Chain A
Amino acid sequence: MKALQVIDVRKTYADKVAGKSVEALKGVSFEIKKGEIFGLLGPNGAGKTTLIASITTLEKPTSGELLVFGDSVMKTPLKTKMNVGVVHQEVINTGFFSVDEILDFQSGYYGIYKNKERCDYLMEKLSLYEHRNKKVKQLSGGMKRRLMIAKALVHTPKLLLLDEPTAGVDVGLRESLWKFVHELKNEGMSILLTTHYLEEAEQMCDGVAIINKGQLLFNGTPKNMISEYSQKKLILIMKSGETKEYLESTQLGIAELLVKYNIDIAEIHDIKIEEGRLEDAFSKMVSL
């Protein structure tokens, strides 16, 4: 069974200022397998957050279907919500309650009465335990991010939605968060994430979808995307001291390249190859 199926989802807003309608999502379709980390990538304003908001019922799609483990988000929202945890892009700013109280309320929202063990585990795991009596305004930006992740996990969802969870987060915390995401994947959780850190997406994701201006541009594995849309750089350092650079398809091997450019191997002192990257593929794709 698929963790998430996005089927021809469209969302149209009425832009009252401009006096016209805006298509935020133009028939987006993709699916996420169970236990997979899936990256939803795109520039700012591409429609990523609108799609996540549609999965969580904060937005209602104009048309199309969203299925979470086979259940329709539009027809059975209470059922699908039980299986979904979400970390919103904007940081939590609750003024009244402590970390402990917030996780207690969040558990209650999902019908869990006494959830101390799970909450303590999450606080330990996300280095929040010693801050459990602090109010949110006393937490640093990184702690707030971790609290948001803990909130999303109190009910042990099967599908976790992470909307730019590492925006504005330092390198050390980013690394520890990604490590934690991998652990969740190993526990069998399916994860949809959006991020602007494409290098990390390349390493983390089993599958990616690229959207731009509400349109799906690519859906497949990072490897396929790189081979289809990026080029590798072949750097030849000749015995004469001259350096030659060639940008070529990632599918061509060195021998094929040397033949293609008619280069005598005896003249070469050294060869370096810079492999294509997801970032290059992404840049090429969104600029098309």
Chain B
Amino acid sequence: MIIFFTLVKKEIKRFFKVVIQTVVSPIISSFLYLLVFGVSLGASVKLNSGINYLSFLIPGLMVMGLINNAFQNSSSSVVTSKFSGDLEDVRVAPIPNSYIIWAMGFGGVFRGSLVAIITGIVGSIFHYMQLGELLWVVHPFWLAFFFISGGLIFAFIGIFIAVLAKTFDQLSAFSTFILLPLTYLGGVFISIQNLHPIWQTVSHLNPLFYLINGFRYSMLGQSDVELNLAVIVSLIGVVVTFGMAQFALKKGSFSRW
């Protein structure tokens, strides 16, 4: 267990060393999203479910902060280690691949959760100022479940992409062409009930849609999907992405860039 906790400690210490970039910067982005979309534009948005748009947006921004930061944490950890040679040190030490994956996974969950919780607190303050009441969590257990599963899935994807990537371009291509569209079309800013039926079908094929809506259900008590389905998709996501990370560590290169 000492090996595992050392890896986790290193992951957490690493992102606290650059706290402006890793924590403060995403919180400022979330603050601006809340201000522009939640407060200013949100006043004119009417959702079919009858939920206030600001209440709808806050869980979406939280989950966006969670998955982006979980992905960034593990992928940047691998990439900087490829530059510095740290990855070689990890490889030559008696560390099973599963320890590396879980440690980076929990590092990602920790950073992602930190950003998401602070986003939630800031959002709740906006909520209070706008609607006169704080936004409380309806199902704390399920919220914790989606925090952990969502963080793990995207931290594992970060390992998979970063270990197999041979250049920065390949890494940023995933963020730009896959992660960003999936996030935006997964229902962070909109309810799919407001979309054309074709786009509703497309959204149902997006795994992030279930995660975002599971998260939203945990916060608000209602969402676009059944809780059971969101839980099953999330668990499958953890298993599949763990397998992808295992594959990458087995087949990928630990050599320096």
* Residues in chain A within 8 A of chain B (CB atoms): 56-58, 77-79, 81-82, 84, 86, 88, 90-97, 101, 105-113, 151
Asked if residues A82 and B94 are in contact (CB atoms below 8 Å), the reply is yes
Q: Which of B1-21 contact A (CB under 8 A)?
A: 2-3, 5-7, 9-10, 13-14, 17-18
5 contacts between A and B (CB under 8 A): A78-B94, A88-B85, A93-B83, A105-B10, A111-B2
**A109 and B256 in contact, given A58-B92, A96-B17 (Cβ under 8 angstroms):** no
> What residues of chain B lie closer than 8 Å to A110, measured between beta carbons?
3, 93-94
How far apart are the CA atoms of A151 and B96 in the complex, in Å?
19
Chain B contributes a number of interface residues (CB within 8 A of A) equal to 28
> Within 8 Å of chain A (Cβ to Cβ): is B95?
yes
Q: Which of B54-94 contact A (CB under 8 A)?
A: 80, 83-86, 88-94
List 14 other contacts, CB 8 Å, given A96-B17, A101-B13: A58-B255, A77-B94, A79-B94, A86-B92, A93-B83, A93-B84, A96-B13, A96-B18, A105-B9, A106-B93, A108-B10, A109-B6, A110-B93, A111-B94
Chain A positions within 8 Å of B9 at CB level: 105, 108
B92 surroundings in chain A (CB, below 8 A): 56-58, 81, 84, 86
Q: Is the CB of A93 within 8 A of B85?
A: yes
**Distance between A172 CB and nearest chain B CB, rounded to angstroms:** 25
Please, which residue of chain B has its CB at the minimum distance from the CB of A83?
Answer: B94
B189 interface contact, C-beta 8 A: no
- B interface residues (Cβ-Cβ under 8 A, vs A): 2-3, 5-7, 9-10, 13-14, 17-18, 80, 83-86, 88-96, 254-256
- Name the distance in Å between A100's Cβ and chain B's nearest Cβ: 12
Please report the number of residue pairs spanning A and B whose Cβ atoms sit closer than 8 angstroms.
Answer: 73
Chain A residues whose C-beta falls within 8 Å of the C-beta of B10 in the assembled complex:
105, 108
Min CB distance A86 to B, Å, is: 5
A88 to chain B, nearest CB (A): 6
Which residues of the other chain, A, contact B18 by a CB distance below 8 angstroms?
A: 96
B85 neighbours in A (Cβ, 8 Å): 88, 90-94
The 10 nearest A-B residue pairs measured at CB: A108-B6, A109-B93, A81-B94, A56-B92, A78-B94, A94-B84, A93-B84, A96-B17, A111-B2, A113-B2
- Which of chain B's residues have a CB closer than 8 A to the CB of A77? 94
Q: Is the CB of B84 within 8 A of A92?
A: yes
Give the residues in chain A near B7, CB-CB below 8 Å.
108-109
- Tell me, in angstroms, the Cα distance from A105 to B89 when the chains sit together: 10
Which residue of B has the minimal Cβ distance to A135?
B17
B contact residues around A151 at 8 Å (CB): 89
B93 to chain A: which residues have CB within 8 Å?
81, 106, 109-110
Query: What residues on A are CB-neighbors of B83 within 8 Å?
Result: 93
Provide the residues of chain B in CB contact with A81, threshold 8 Å: 92-94
Tell which of B14, B89, B91 touches A57, judged by Cβ atoms closer than 8 Å: B91
Asked, given contacts A78-B94, A78-B96, whether A109 binds B89 with beta carbons under 8 Å apart, the answer is: yes
Distance in angstroms from B189 CB to nearest chain A CB is 35
Give complex CA distance A77, B97 in Å. Answer: 12
Q: CA separation between A96 and B15, bound complex, in Å?
A: 9
How close is B15's CB to chain A, nearest CB, in angstroms? Answer: 9
Residue of A nearest to B86 (CB): A94
Cα distance, A112 to B2, chains bound together (Å)? 7
